[in-house]
């Protein structure tokens, strides 16, 4: 009996079976057209059972693990977790270049540290010498040796330099040319004059906390004991150029703060007669050691202070020029 139900009334299994029968009939029809009559085959008869699939070899049972993240690692076909390959540990190698660089760095740090310690030791020694020199200068009384002023400047360099005297007693390097040294040695030095009441014995600069004795002479040995009054320059309070110099970084550092002075600062100079002369700074100059114009005589009472500059280098001179206060 022919089934007269519509396609909508058929179940899914019935539709699949109907499609299989029609495909089988269409296949038989194509074979008849190609090869002639074909033995009849029941389209509803079950087909031969296909053989079971061959098992996959072990090399194809898992996917490669390279590049897979931890959450999506490849698994084997049967669902078991694929074993993770073991990596062989590389042998320990000593990086000689890295070891050499580190050793050189440690050596450089040690050298720098040693240099810092040496410099600190030198600085502490210099400070101790300056302190001792200040104590000696404050405790001793200056020896009066006044002189007669003379307008002749008999030096080649400004005083307060850091060049100690050589074996022959003069400073080195020799400021006098070689072909004139014999003539200079034949000159008789100016004798020290008899003591007078106007000799400078003390200098005070309240603005930079200077209070030091004044010694006659500004040679190497004189400046060890205090500030030096240049022999041949005017006495304090008199008409002319009174020149006083001192070191800035050795033997007490008397004029260390001289660069801090300002125009208008007061300078007090004491004399053996108990007189105090007050000067007011009018000029502060930085010049070369060979510029002797600041030592020339003047027609008015002038005080000139000279020291090395800058601190610790001493390649130039700092000069403070002050005028006598009425």
* Domain parsing of the chain, residue ranges: 10-46, 124-163+196-324
**The pTM of the whole model exceeds 0.75:** no
From first to last of its 326 residues, the chain has per-residue pLDDT tens of 566 777 777 788 888 888 888 888 888 888 888 766 555 555 555 556 666 666 655 554 454 445 544 444 444 444 555 566 666 665 555 678 888 888 899 999 999 999 999 999 999 888 888 888 888 877 765 555 444 444 446 667 888 777 676 554 444 444 545 555 555 455 444 444 444 558 999 999 999 999 999 999 999 889 989 999 999 899 999 999 999 999 998 888 999 999 999 999 999 999 998 899 999 999 999 999 999 999 999 999 999 999 999 998 889 999 999 999 98
Measured in degrees and rounded to the nearest 5, phi and psi for residue 272 equal -65, -25
Can you tell me whether residue 234 is helix, strand or coil? coil
Domain 124-163+196-324 = CATH 2.40.260.10: yes
Cβ–Cβ under 8 Å, residues 302 and 319:
no
The β-bridge partners of 284 are 320
Nearest to 270 by CA among 258, 281, 283, 279: 279
245, 248, 249, 250: CA torsion to nearest 10:
20
Measured in degrees and rounded to the nearest 5, phi and psi for residue 145 equal -145, 75
Cα(277)–Cα(254) distance, integer angstroms: 19
Cβ–Cβ under 8 Å, residues 245 and 170:
no
Structure token digits, residue 105: 């760095």
DSSP one-letter string for 54-84: PPPPGGGSS---TT--GGG--B-TTSPBPPP
Quickly count: other Cβ atoms within 10 Å of residue 97's Cβ.
Answer: 7
């Amino acid at each position: 009996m022919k089934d007269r139900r519509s396609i909508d009334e058929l179940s899914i299994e019935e539709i699949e079976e109907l499609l299989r029968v029609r495909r089988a009939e269409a296949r038989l029809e194509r074979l008849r057209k190609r090869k002639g009559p074909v033995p009849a085959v029941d389209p509803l008869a079950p087909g031969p059972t296909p053989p079971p699939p061959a098992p996959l070899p072990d090399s194809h049972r898992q996917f490669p693990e390279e590049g897979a993240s931890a959450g999506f690692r490849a698994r084997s076909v049967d669902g078991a977790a694929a074993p993770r390959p073991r990596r062989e540990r590389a042998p320990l190698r000593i990086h000689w270049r890295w070891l050499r660089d580190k050793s050189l760095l440690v050596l450089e740090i040690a050298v720098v540290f040693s240099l810092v310690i040496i410099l600190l030791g030198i600085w502490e020694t210099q400070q101790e010498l300056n302190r001792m020199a200040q104590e000696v200068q404050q405790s001793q009384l200056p020896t009066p040796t006044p002189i007669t002023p003379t307008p002749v400047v008999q030096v080649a360099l400004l005083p307060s330099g850091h060049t100690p005297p050589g074996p022959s007693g003069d400073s080195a390097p020799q400021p006098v040319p070689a072909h004139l040294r014999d003539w200079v040695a034949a000159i008789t030095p100016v004798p020290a004059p008899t003591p007078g009441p106007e000799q400078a014995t003390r200098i005070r600069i309240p603005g930079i906390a200077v209070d030091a004795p004044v010694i006659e002479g500004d040679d190497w040995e004189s400046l060890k004991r205090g500030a030096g009054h240049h022999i041949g320059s005017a006495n304090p309070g008199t008409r002319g150029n009174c020149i006083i110099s001192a070191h800035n970084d050795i033997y007490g550092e008397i004029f260390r703060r001289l660069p801090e002075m300002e125009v208008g600062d007061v300078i007090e100079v004491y004399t053996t007669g108990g007189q105090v002369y007050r000067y007011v700074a009018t000029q502060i100059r930085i010049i070369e050691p060979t510029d002797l114009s600041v030592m020339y005589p003047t027609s008015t009472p002038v005080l000139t202070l000279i020291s090395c500059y800058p601190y610790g280098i001493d390649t130039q001179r700092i000069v403070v020029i002050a005028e006598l206060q009425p």
